[in-house]
Amino acid sequence: MSQVEHTAAGVPNDLEPYWMPFTANRAFKAAPRLIVSAKGMRLGTADGRSVIDAIAGMWCCNAGHNRDPIVAAIQRQAAELDYVTAFQFGHPGAFELAARIAALAPGDLDHVFFCNSGSEAVDTALKIALAFHAIRGEGSRTRLIGRERGYHGVGFGGISVGGIVANRKLFGTLLAGVDHLPTTYSRDHQAFTKGEPEWGAHLADELERIVALHDASTIAAVIVEPMAGSTGVLPAPKGYLQRLREICDRHRLLLIFDEVITGFGRLGPCFAAERYGVQPDMITFAKGVTSGTVPMGGVLVRKGLYDTFMRGPEHLVELFHGYTYSAHPLACAAGLATLDVYRDEDLFARAAALEPVFADAVMSLKGLPGVLDIRTVGLAAGIDLAPHPDGPGKRGFAAMNEAFHRQDAVIRLAGDTIALSPSLIVTADEIGEIVDKVARTIRAVG
């Protein structure tokens, strides 16, 4: 085993052993983008620069970076109780956090199953859906319906219902019995839209076609993102989610909202389900629940669904599912402190108030070289750039490098789409700074 040496700045001089996720490893290791510190809206680089974080870590640091109350809560918890198994045992923080999350959720989404990531949350929700129908005597309901361009994490369940080709094509046939709704995006009908587009609600009716093809008696659940984030920020069309709910009710299908990105204020309310007035049967969450400080995810489940499992002898396990680190004490402490910050600083209302300011600022990029479309909703935006003649993704990759190395900004890419999702603590001046840096980036790579 080789010794790992460090430079004076604490940066390892051997980058090769780490196989980085969702990263062009060879390109990164030739020109690293190393972050060594964070506070508020700023990140510190290994070469001593301060850069603005325009993506809240990765849609997750909704309360900003390194917030003192959250850091202190994690430190206290680590010194008191580092770990206890979640199988047949518990700790107070898990029950308190579950109660507080349930209180923030709409309707009767009263129960929380904890896990460690959005990917695990999705696979958990899919398993709950299948088990729910099985214990009700409808074991033929095994089909799962996702959507084209949807992202639901990287577990086999998530990539099966997901609809991003690059995430699926190398991994075989995935889960059997999965179908997909069409994407809700059409540039011809929706280009340069602020908020929910007027066109596209009718695309929910494709679920009726899928039901007719497979028969409702074979379908367990439908899972969609209220705003498809990882594919480039695609807001749901007006009325689309309501129509999905109506069709699911008609055929007794469970409706799952994947709110791993939209949860905890990204679109204004704590959950997007509240913004759209639609009651799903389950909500998956992660990211913002701890403001990115400690990994945590979970599934909010409606009371009637949970109660269906609470039958039979009381000494028997009702659901054979869970993770070693479900409701980890440090994650629960971070989650409770994060919810305090959201409440004390009224960050969800702040995000809602800043939405039009953010939308107007980002839309000012219209007309720059190669900008094909811009979409905004809440504090999220997608900016489509024309592909480079040398191939798709090259202009987006150049934009990420330009933004980081020369404009002192961190942006996110989805192919040739720039995604922006600043923390909810962002100011109007910082929104202006982000958009100015993105404008200079687009001109540089145009």
* pLDDT tens-digit map of 354-401: 999 999 999 999 999 999 999 999 999 999 999 999 899 999 999 999
Task: Please give the structure tokens belonging to residue 88.
Answer: 């047949």
- CATH C-level class of 25-63+346-445: alpha beta
| Nearest Cα to Cα of residue 321 among 302, 301, 336, 303 | 301
Q: Please tell me the predicted confidence (pLDDT) of residue 367.
A: 97
Residues of the chain with CATH 3.90.1150.10: 25-63+346-445
Please write the tens of the pLDDT for every residue from 60-72: 999 999 999 999 9
- % residues pLDDT > 90 (the chain): 96
- % residues pLDDT > 70 (the chain): 98
Using 50, 70 and 90 to split pLDDT, how confident is the model at 130? very high
* Distance, C-alpha 218 to centroid of its chain: 29
Q: Give the 3-state DSSP-derived string for the chain, with helices as H, strands as E and coil as C.
A: CCCCCECCCCCECCCCCCCCCCCCHHHHHHCCCCEEEEEECEEEECCCCEEEECCHHHHCCCCCECCHHHHHHHHHHHHHCCCCCCCCCCCHHHHHHHHHHHHHCCCCEEEEEEECCHHHHHHHHHHHHHHHHHHCCCCCCCEEEEECCCCCCCCHHHHHHCCCHHHHCCCCCCCCCEEEECCCCCHHHHCCEECCCCCCHHHHHHHHHHHHHHCHHHEEEEEECCEECCCCCEECCCCHHHHHHHHHHHHCCEEEEECCCCCCCCCCCCCHHHHHCCCCCEEEECHHHHCCCCCCEEEEEEHHHHHHHCCCCCCCCCCCCCCCCCCCHHHHHHHHHHHHHHHHCCHHHHHHHHHHHHHHHHHCCCCCCCEEEEEEECCEEEEEECCECCECCHHHHHHHHHHHHCCCEECEEECCEEEECCCCCCCHHHHHHHHHHHHHHHHHHC
Please write the tens of the pLDDT for every residue from 94-120: 999 999 999 999 999 999 999 999 999
Residues of the chain with CATH 3.40.640.10: 71-344
Mean pLDDT of 304-313: 96
Mean pLDDT of 269-293: 98
Q: Is 144 a residue whose pLDDT tops 70?
A: yes
Q: Mean pLDDT in the chain? A: 96
Using 50, 70 and 90 to split pLDDT, how confident is the model at 5? very low
Q: Please tell me the predicted confidence (pLDDT) of residue 2.
A: 35
| pTM of the complete model | 0.96
Q: Please tell me the predicted confidence (pLDDT) of residue 4.
A: 37
Q: Please tell me the predicted confidence (pLDDT) of residue 446.
A: 84
Please write the tens of the pLDDT for every residue from 25-49: 999 999 999 999 999 999 999 999 9
Please write the tens of the pLDDT for every residue from 321-342: 999 999 999 999 999 999 999 9
Q: Please tell me the predicted confidence (pLDDT) of residue 10.
A: 63
Q: Please tell me the predicted confidence (pLDDT) of residue 12.
A: 75
Mean pLDDT of 152-158: 97
Among the four given CATH numbers 3.90.700.10, 3.30.1490.20, 3.40.920.10, 3.40.640.10, the one describing domain 71-344? 3.40.640.10
Mean pLDDT of 427-434: 98
